[in-house]
Chains A and B, each alone.
Chain A
Amino acid sequence: MKKTAAPMLKCVVNGVKVSRAIDSGLTLSDFLRGELHLTGTKTGCNQGECGACVVVVDGKAVNSCLYMAVQANGKKVITIEGLKGKNGDPHPLVQAFADEGAVQCGFCTPGMIMSAYALLLANPAPSRAEIKQALSGNICRCTGYEMIFSAVEKAAGLLRGRGGK
């Protein structure tokens, strides 16, 4: 079989420049987990249905299991590992999820938080209806969502209080 040159992927992941040759068939989730060892991004269905693999690409939440790694070329990717608060403290969303009881088995949590993060980038003061809508692609089988909504509301308030950072 004739070998074609592997495409180069150049992007920024969690603020760090990445440049490497990849298989063109690689999904972004497999790239993040398998190549960069960023295992905080989970895969629950590999069909874009569960939302466990959500990461933020150029400010938008995407299902990284359906997003080809090469599509991220020239873009900024943020994963759960890239969410840090001041001085390396947990990000307000991460802390609020922990404090509000929004975490049970935890497998949906990183993806859920990344969807919430993208929401708050676009809309720092979402209503509960807007939160429900923004998280509707993230399945949580444990919590019944109620405490997740509260966590997002709490984090939104905290982030607004300090200018969104």
Chain B
Amino acid sequence: MSDNPLFCVGKSVTRKDALAKASGEALYIDDYSYGGMLHAAAVRSPRPHIRIKGFDARAAEKVAGFVMLVSAADIPGKNIWPVVKEDCPFFPETESRFQGETLALVLAETRLAAREAAAKVKVLCAELPFVEDPLAALEKSAPKIYGGNNVFSSYVIKRGDVEEAIRSADAVVEGVFTTNYQVHVYLETQGAIAFPEAGGAMTVYGSLQCPYYAHDAVAQALNITHNKVRIVQRVTGGGFGGKEDVPALVAAHAAIAARKSGRPVKLVYERDEDFISMSRRHPSWTRMVYAARKDGAITACKAKYVLDGGAYATLSPIVLWRGTVHAAGPYKIENVSVESFAAATNKAPCGAYRGFGQPQICFANESLLDKLAEKLGMDPLELRLKNILRPGDKTITGQVITGSCGLEEALVSVREKSGWAKRRGRLAGEGAVKKGLGVSANYYGVGLGAGGKYLDRAGAHVSVSKDGSVYAAVGNTEMGQGAQTVLSQIAAETLNCPYDGVRMTEVDTSRVPDSGPTVASRTTLMSGNAVIDACKPLRGRIFKAARELLSAKGAPEGAMEASGGEFRAGGKTVSFSEAVKECWAQRLKMAEHGWYAAPKTSFLPENGQGDAYVTYAYSANVAEVAVDTETGAVRVEKLYAAHDLGRAVNPRLALGQMHGGALQGIGYALSENLVYKDGALLNPNMSDYVLPSSMETPEFDCSTIERPYEDGPYAAKGFGETPLIGPAPAIANAVKDACGARVPGLPLMPEKVWGRLKDKA
């Protein structure tokens, strides 16, 4: 973009929103209230599978402040929430498929009254048979809750001759691996406020990642055209995928209630409701085989991958697709057979969670790879180095890896930093506490890829005011990851404007066209490129005006230096705001729309071959753990990680993604354990669902590797999800190194580790 050295991209500038958030000024959805506003509370299904006969609201109506009950009959539009498949209603009419599903809403004058009244609504129903286990759901005899076979979707990847490769291999290993749910537990629960507008229009404010999904849902629920819907994101207290799809349901519920009551309606979830009914990471079951030659070259991978999708398809088809594409790990393998299924069960629908179907299968493949190393008598890190994807190699979908691939450097980095060669297998413990090191490698397709290619575009609107201040609007959201900061840096760099002069606010669907979801680590790449596209013509005008002003000041014609918000030539200086003022004086157009559509991707359904993603991010992790062999308790003492992200637009923010993602990965590995019994969730709270606290966070040694991605904004790729993917298998492999126990199921609860140790003894 520029011959001048970068002055803003690549710098750890302070976050745009940090002071407002730290001082308590930032306004989240529940911090807003309006005159005449009603509060909504959900009436939820009492059992995992019921025939709905009606509601008895007589007791609820007696609660002071009760206003009305809202249910399926009040939906003006089509009662189908538009996601991937059309199977989930906004409110179920005759049948509810999981315990905790929202059946109706109570509206009342206060939140307490709404909650009290909702608790008093009796759901008249008959129980139906239900299925809880995904493997059981795939049996012929299972109660059918989706289609004729309870399969939401299924994929295959076929390459080479896997059976022959296994027969002729020197070493073959096989294993079955399972992973449990993981819940996002974003600190701010779900919430929305809907405002009925004149002419049948509707505005909804919400805590959400994907405003355009909410836009589609509200338009469909209310049977109004898209130009009558406006979705405005409010400062969002964490998402991690959990505010991808489900906020559209929450927004639609609030909008249906606002339409019926004619008043603004606030719907904010309590923590237990959030646990019971909102999205979460799919539990998984994987059977996998690796085959290799004596020298360690992997010749085949065969896998069957099953996800527990829950009661409705929601995002299961694309979560499954991403997991399937990445199933064999970041390795060059000629013979591959992967088959995958997302099964329907009578539990809350699973959806997007940072990693999106990859952490599950990565746990399986990276655990099994260590088993292969053991069988071959090789060092597991060296086995990985022998097989990893390098530029020019093909993935299991046949995609040729391009130049932006730093996996080798990442593995070497964690090997050196952790002192791997000298310390693995030799760490001294103390008494019953044994210590060990474990490694994992992974890669992550950036953006939506072929699985979501029709949504993979993004817009931006950049406006330069006559005072020299810049306003940038995009369609991808800030949810804590730092999007506003990184995109402001990209705008500042492109315009040669001071970073402090750029302002962004939360996404408003009336400002920027549908830019797809804020997911798949795509925002820096997609919105970043859209911002550059909007800035380019502005840059041309501003640079021309600056050059004219420099000439007017007596600077010689020719080259001009542009950096840090100043233009310089021949000892003369023109500031960004002076140049902008000149543009306005010349009556130039000082606002532009930008657009970026992702390069082409492909995936053939019959064999799973194609260029699945535009590019990949790569990472390697080494975990250093301590295992108390008397209790089975595992503690991560240190985590080494290295990530190839193309370029870190803001190194401190990138580091924040690495630390935070890794700690979520540690929670996933060790303590986060959602428990269902007879279709009921037993631990919908933060006491019994155990999150890593300040006491569990390890020492981090994380670094970036920058292998420029030529189509990225200033060579950046997305990478926000990769930090979560690698830690769990690295920890499991470290536990094995420490004490000899191989636990094939996440989370590695103390009793499971202890059980394995006991079996071994």
Contact = CB atoms under 8 A, between A and B. Distances in A.
B660 interface: yes
A144 B186 contact: no
Contact of B700 (A45, A47, A104, A144): A144
Interface stretch (B95-103, B138-146, B649-657): B649-657
A144 B697 contact: yes
B663 A49 contact: no
A81 B31 CA distance: 14
B700 A146 contact: yes
Given A47-B687, A141-B187, A147-B659, A103 B27 contact: no
A89 to B, nearest CB: 11
B479 A98 contact: no
B187 A107 contact: yes
A103 B653 CA distance: 10
B23 A80 contact: yes
Interface string A65-103: 000000000000001110100000010011101110111
A50 interface: yes
A90 B15 CA distance: 15
B22 A97 contact: yes
Interface stretch (A2-10, A128-136, A157-165): A128-136
B482 A104 contact: yes
Interface in A110-139: 110, 113, 131-133, 135-139
B271 A44 contact: yes
Interface in A9-59: 33, 38-47, 49-50, 52
A108 B23 CA distance: 12
B187 A47 contact: no
Contact of B685 (A49, A83, A110): A49
Interface in B655-713: 655-656, 658-664, 685-687, 691, 693-695, 697, 700
Interface stretch (B233-241, B253-261, B411-419, B446-454): B233-241
Contacts of B22: 90, 93-95, 97-98, 102-103, 106, 109-110, 113
A41 B26 CA distance: 11
A105 B23 contact: no
A107 B659 contact: no
A95 B188 CA distance: 23
A44 B189 contact: yes
B660 A45 contact: no
A142 B686 contact: no
Nearest to A103: B18
Nearest to A45: B271
A21 B25 CA distance: 27
A108 B239 CA distance: 13
Contact of A101 (B20, B27, B479, B652): B652
A102 to B, nearest CB: 8
A144 B28 contact: no
Interface string B218-240: 00000000000000000111111
Contacts of A43: 30
B694 A135 contact: yes
Given A80-B23, A107-B237, A131-B694, 16 more contacts: A45-B686, A47-B686, A50-B187, A50-B686, A97-B22, A101-B653, A103-B18, A104-B656, A104-B660, A105-B479, A138-B693, A139-B693, A142-B660, A144-B656, A145-B659, A145-B663
In the A-B complex, the 9 residue pairs with the smallest Cβ-Cβ separation, listed nearest first, are: A40-B24, A106-B21, A105-B480, A144-B659, A107-B237, A98-B18, A80-B24, A49-B686, A39-B31
5 contacts: A45-B686, A103-B21, A110-B24, A145-B697, A148-B694
